[in-house]
Amino acid sequence: MERKSLKIALVVAALSCAAWGAQAATAYPSAESSLSAFDTGFGVRNEAAVTQGIDLPRIGSAHVLTPGESQLRAQLDWSNEYVFQAGGSETYMADGETQRYVLDLRHGFAGGPWGGFELGVTVPLVVNNGGVMDGIIHNYHELFGFPDGGRGSRAHRQVEYRYTRAGVTGLGMTSSGFNVGDITLDAGVQAKPGLALRTEVKLPSGTANYLTGGNWGGALWLDYDPFVDVISRWYGFMSLGGSWNATSDVLPGLQRHAVLLGGAGLGFHITPAFSLLVQGYAHSPLYKKTAISALRKAGLQGTFGGRYAFSRHLAVEAGFEEDLVTNSSPDFGVHLGLVMR
């Protein structure tokens, strides 16, 4: 409870600072607006190993590319999780790190009822291993007196993802592995200024044995820019949608096929080139018919970080992620990104 209370306090503090900053914000000269093309969400998602077969799309981009414009995004999301729970006849262990390397390419085209549209492809490489962050996270919890759920009593750099019910193993992975994840093909249209309608199809290119996906899926969602008519230092997004996923070989008897998802973000330009962004990504429960709360709870991830635009063609970003709803997503994560237009 202490850890959860501190997370809530940090979110409140961040929003309070944002509100204070709003009073000091000044109009943004139009000459600087060329850098606003990078004012999107970080493109993060719940990276828990058992979520890799669930289509949780990148949200927070309310403006589709103009005809002839291209964008390449390369990013790394590095997360660490440790959960051990038992309830009734069930036990669940998730101990390891996931590195998700992503290449995302998209291009704007002319035509269609909205005057243009965007097509893209996302190729992830997913690595599951023991990692290097166990000791750092344990020392952090110990320093501030946070509960660590038994992390300190377990050897570091272990890999174990296991679920059992009545002594029968429904999930068992105890070795490192990597593979291509589920590739997605996406499309978007500018329904109106500041409102993008997006959809994607998730291909079964991953492998369930390596916890990198391996089932069909698809998503439909809206990205909205509440600052579309405002020229200021502020930017942000609000997103809402859902996904449907075919049965995966990872806990197939517990999987929910339909998932609701949404999120919001608020950013502020310290300078024309450098901005800070806080965002949240929520989704409904991914699993059912289980006493394990880490599987049956909804997910909520918070991300805070910054972005620097070297020019209107190149930007870098970095942030860290926390599980605002504990155990249903990784305990801690790091996000790094490079965006070229």
Domain boundaries in the chain?
Answer: 2-340
DSSP lists the bridge partners of residue 180 as: 125
The percent of residues above 90 in pLDDT, for the chain, comes to 76
Query: What 8-state DSSP symbol labels residue 37?
Result: G
Q: What is the pLDDT of residue 311?
A: 94
Q: Answer whether residue 3 shows pLDDT above 90.
A: no
Q: Phi and psi dihedrals of 35, rounded to 5?
A: -85, -10
State the number of CA atoms in the 13 A half-sphere of 36 facing the CB: 24
The pTM is what?
A: 0.88
Residue 134: the pLDDT is 82
Range 166-183 average pLDDT: 93
For residues 310-324, average pLDDT = 95
d(CA 200, CA 280): 21
Fold (CATH) for 2-340:
Porin (2.40.160)
Q: In the predicted model, is pLDDT for residue 286 greater than 70?
A: yes
pLDDT band at 120 (very low <50, low <70, confident <90, very high): very high
Q: What is the mean pLDDT of residues 18-40?
A: 53
Q: How far is CA 17 from the centre of its chain?
A: 24
- Neighbouring residues of 307: CB distance < 8 A, sequence distance ≥ 6: 38, 267, 274, 275, 277, 315, 316, 317
DSSP state of 125: E
Residue 301 in this model has a pLDDT that exceeds 70: yes
CB within 8 Å of 9: residues ≥ 6 apart: none
pLDDT at site 29: 37
CB-based contact 79:69 (threshold 8 Å) = no
Contacts of 269 (CB under 8 A, 6+ apart): 28, 233, 234, 235, 275
Q: What is the b/e burial string over 31-68, where b = at least 16 CB atoms within 10 angstroms of the residue's CB?
A: eeeebbbbbbbbbbbbbbbbbbbbbbbbbbbbbbbeee
| Percent of the chain surpassing pLDDT 70 | 88
Residues 6 or more apart in contact with residue 126 via CB below 8 angstroms? 52, 98, 99, 100, 101, 178, 179, 180, 181, 206, 210, 211, 212, 213
Report yes or no: 125 and 89 within 8 Å, Cβ to Cβ.
Answer: no
The tokens describing 71, both together, are: 């964008």
pLDDT of residue 113: 83
Give the integer Cα–Cα distance in Å for 201 and 197.
14
Higher per-residue confidence, 9 vs 326: 326
Least confident piece of the model among 140-149, 182-191, 298-307, 312-321: 140-149
pLDDT-derived band at 61 (thresholds 50, 70, 90) equals very high
For residue 142, give the 3-state DSSP assignment: helix
Q: Which two tokens stand for residue 311?
A: 């020019």
pLDDT at residue number 105:
98
Q: How many residues does the chain have?
A: 341
Average pLDDT for 82-105: 96
The CA distance from 189 to 310, in Å, is 28
Report how far residue 187's alpha carbon sits from residue 200's, in angstroms, rounded to the nearest whole number: 6
Q: Do residues 78 and 314 lie in contact, with contact meaning Cβ atoms separated by under 8 Å?
A: no
Q: What is the pLDDT of residue 228?
A: 92
pLDDT at residue 5 is higher than 60: no
Residue 339: its pLDDT value, please?
Answer: 97
Backbone phi, then psi, for 283, in 5-degree steps? -145, 155
| Average pLDDT over the chain, rounded to an integer | 89
Which pLDDT belongs to residue 282? 98
Question: Are the C-beta atoms of residues 266 and 61 closer than 8 Å to each other?
Answer: no
Whether the predicted pLDDT of 106 surpasses 70 = yes
Alpha-carbon dihedral sign for residues 224, 233, 313, 316: negative
DSSP letter assigned to residue 327: T
Cβ atoms of 300 and 321 closer than 8 Å: no
pLDDT at 137: 80
pLDDT (average), residues 260-269 = 98
